[in-house]
Structure formats: C-alpha cells, structure tokens
Amino acid sequence: MTERVIALVDAGRHKPLPPPVKPVAGPTRDRLGRTLRDLRISVTDRCNFRCVYCMPKEVFGKDYPYLAHDQLLSFEEIARLAKVFVAHGVEKIRLTGGEPLLRKNVERLVEMLAAITLPSGERVELTLTSNGSLLAKKARALKDAGLRRVTVSLDALDDPTFMAMNDADFPVAKVLAGIEAADAAGLAPVKVNMVVKRGVNEHSILPMARRFKGTGHVLRFIEFMDVGATNGWCMDDVIASREIIRMIDAEMPLEPIDPNYHGEVAERWRYRDGSGEIGVISSVTQAFCRSCTRARISTEGMLYTCLFATSGYDFRALLREGKSDAEIRAAIAAVWGARDDRYSEIRTAETAKERKIEMSYIGG
C-alpha cells in the first residue's frame, strides 16, 4: 500500500491575529455569547495506535514526518499559557495528544498545571484523555502529580474488532487493566469513550454497555465525526446517538438526567435501576455549537477555536518573541471575541470534504 503523507503543519495553516483587545471584567465571550471555560492542550502529535478514524496507517506510516522536539511547546510554555487562559475564565484543562502519555516526563507537566489556581482559590480541574495503553504503568504517578480524572478511548470489547479499529495489534485486556489501575489510583470516575462507526463496531454497543454498567465508570458513545482529512468520513457511516439510546434502553431502561454544567458536550442518561449512567456525544446529528466553551492548543502552540477548524493562531510565536502575559491575554481576548464557529450546525457534504486540522494534532 502506498503511504500518503499529509503534514500536520500544512493542515494547521496560520491565521493572522486580530488586533489585541483589552480584556474586560467578567467572562470572556465570543460573538455568539459563549464563554471560554474549557482548554484542551495537545502535548504530542505521536500515538502508538493507528485508529482508522484518527491516524490511519496509510497516512501516518513509519516514515511520517512528526514535529521535531524544539517545535513542541515546552512544559514551561504550556504552563504559562494555561495560567493566562485561567485568567480569562478557563476552569478545566484537559491534556490530549496524540497519546499524551508518550510525552516524556508528562507527570512533571501535570504537577505544574495542577498547581494553577482559579480566582476563587480552588485548583483548576485537570484531566487527561488516553488510549489506555500506558495507563496501568502511569496511573499512580499521574494521580500523585495532581491529575483529577482520566478519559480512556475504547471502541470494542472483542479483540478482532478492537484491533481492527486501533490497527496496532493491541489487546482489549491491557486497556481494561489501565482503566482499573486508574480507578484504583483514584482517577475516578473514569470516563470511557467509544466512537461508533456503522459497519465496523456497532455490534459492540450493547456488550460495552453491559460491561461498564454498575462499575462506576461512565461510558460515552461518540458519533463518528468528519474531523481532519484522513478518516474517509461519510454520513452513511454515522449511527445517530438516538439510535444508540433506543438500543440500550430496550434492554437496560434509561432516563435522561441534567448536564453537570452549561456547555457539557455529552447528553447524560441514567439507568432506571440506579446502576450508573451513560452519555452520548452527538456532534453530527444534534449539534451543540451554541453552548461550546472550548479552546484548543495544538502540540506546537497553535490556538484553535473549533475542533473542525481549517487554521489557527500562532501563540508559540508570541511566547518565543518575549510577549508579556498582558499582551498574550489581549491576544486571547481578541481571538475569542472574534469567534463565531458553529461548524456542526452548518455541516454539508461539501464542508465535510474540507481539509481540516487532524484530531491527532489538537485532540478530540
């Protein structure tokens, strides 16, 4: 098979920063009135899985040109940016990748970020998303460093299906061991994310629900999305979340429950027998753009205001040009103030073909 090469930096075209804006008192809001509450930070563009919906092997092969180390934000640069974002109202930070546990000494970064306090004096909520492959080894150290919770990606319980999805010959048992290690370390409740793709793993929906019901973990089903330019997305591959809910409810009755906070992307459902909850993330069929409070920092310091963005803003340059915290804060205010993204609300067959930033570059 011929390898296609799509350079991440090409997919992350720069946009000029809008003129700086002096931050105002109170929450920073965009053009649609959405506040800035959540920050996702990608710490590496590398991953040891080759999931077909994220980093397919025919694109991300053994000769793929990953970013050089000096192109990545340092831990000190990440921590500095995070503090400035918290001053804008960010309350929750999630570390992503690629696979974030591949970043050497990531526990040190966790410790630095966990020390950041909100204006209220409380610590920032710090979480991490992982494929689970290294979690059994890292869970205790991550908890000791100050990590609050972890989300683990798991798309099936049987090895043939799971390996077909991750394309890395990695067994389910090791991911389950990582989940249990995270639970034992106190990184709970563990959230388990399952991307559902028609014709590939929909037969795993009920087994996954049965497996995690009553465990205290929160299983979340994610509609297959048109992120990036490499996963061959088409609407026919999407199983709507309402279909998933009907399937589970027929065997294990469910009832809807309120979100934990404004802007939560997962719609929550509770088992009527009190044995836990599940969630569905319906970015394709039930767009939640109007309540989106997320900003994303890529591996090398680009700021993106949407998961489906085609370009971003270069904040690494601001850091390395010696700009002050006040100047960086003014740049964030300008970018967020100009934000009017609502891609999922206006998605069409044509926009789905646009070359967007890869999920492995800015996290899901």
Fold of 8-362: TIM Barrel (3.20.20)
- State the pLDDT at residue 5: 40
Where would I find the beta strands (DSSP E) of the chain?
13-14, 38-42, 92-96, 125-130, 149-153, 191-196, 218-223, 254-257, 267-271, 277-281, 294-297, 302-304, 311-314
Q: Which pLDDT score, from 0 to 100, does residue 32 have?
A: 94
Q: What is the pLDDT of residue 10?
A: 43
Domain boundaries, the chain: 8-362
CA–CA distance, 95 with 91 (Å, rounded to integer): 14
pLDDT of residue 192: 98
Tell me the average confidence (pLDDT) per consecutive run of 10 residues in the chain, 364 residues long: 42 72 81 95 92 80 89 97 95 95 97 96 97 97 98 96 88 97 97 92 96 97 70 72 96 94 84 97 78 93 88 95 96 94 68 64 69
**Angle at alpha carbon of residue 339, lines to 334 and 345, rounded to 5°:** 175
With a CB cutoff of 8 Å and minimum separation 6, the contacts of 32 are 290, 339, 340, 342
Amino acid 294: pLDDT: 93
Q: What is the pLDDT of residue 152?
A: 98
